Structure 1
């Protein structure tokens, strides 16, 4: 008979911040990029999302492969559609000092799977994604 030692689940730290669990920001692209080029960048980088920045390097949002594919496959799509045209509600960010609970609650309310984590100057530090 083999004994299995059970470890108690770690209690969630109410003061833990998104910085402690965020992922690397991954590829950053300019908001004037077309949908087709963005999809190509995603394929080459083997990622499902891109951090979108403006001409000054300020994070303006996040787009996912699924969102871009839906736009491309839509009847209103033209090759003139740029990422900045798609951001809408995705112009949401979180601060590195936001607690995990606060970020998770905000994302669930807005039905988002991930948020860029930005510093005080608006530069992307990483991405915080829901884990389940």
Structure 2
């Protein structure tokens, strides 16, 4: 008996099938100016934010940090948890990819954290492939 593993079709794909490992994570107690430096030096457009218990607290993008580019005493003393960034709800691995894509489009997200049942990050769903065009099925 031969068992063949097939890639899920666009209609049956789940978030777990399409998610990637998160590349950059920061703690929510990191100061805004440090978060800007981390994103700039890494070349990343976003970073996952974790709370003190290691659970996902949101997704921080360069756009969220744009108002703080002038740097002041405020950016040196304000933790990321106190500024506006994308927060819950998050995707789950068993969520249908088409549902996740619709939710991301309606919220204007290019990336969405994927969490387990305890709220810990297990992946990141990107609406666009690294080269730019949208992924099929998502």
Q: TM-score, normalised by structure 2?
A: 0.77
* Equivalent residue for 2:74, pick from 54, 58, 78: 78
Deviations 1:31-54 (A, max 9, x none): 011111112222333311111001
**In the alignment, what sits opposite 2:127?**
130
Question: Highest Rg: 1 or 2?
Answer: 1
| Unmatched 5+ stretches in structure 1 | 1-10
Q: How many residues align?
A: 122
Between the aligned partners of 1:55 and 1:33, the Cα distance in structure 2 is 11
Q: TM-score, normalised by structure 1?
A: 0.80
More off after superposition, 39-48 vs 57-66: 39-48
Deviating beyond 4 angstroms after TM superposition, the runs of 4 or more aligned structure 1 residues are 74-77
CA RMSD of aligned residues (A): 2.5
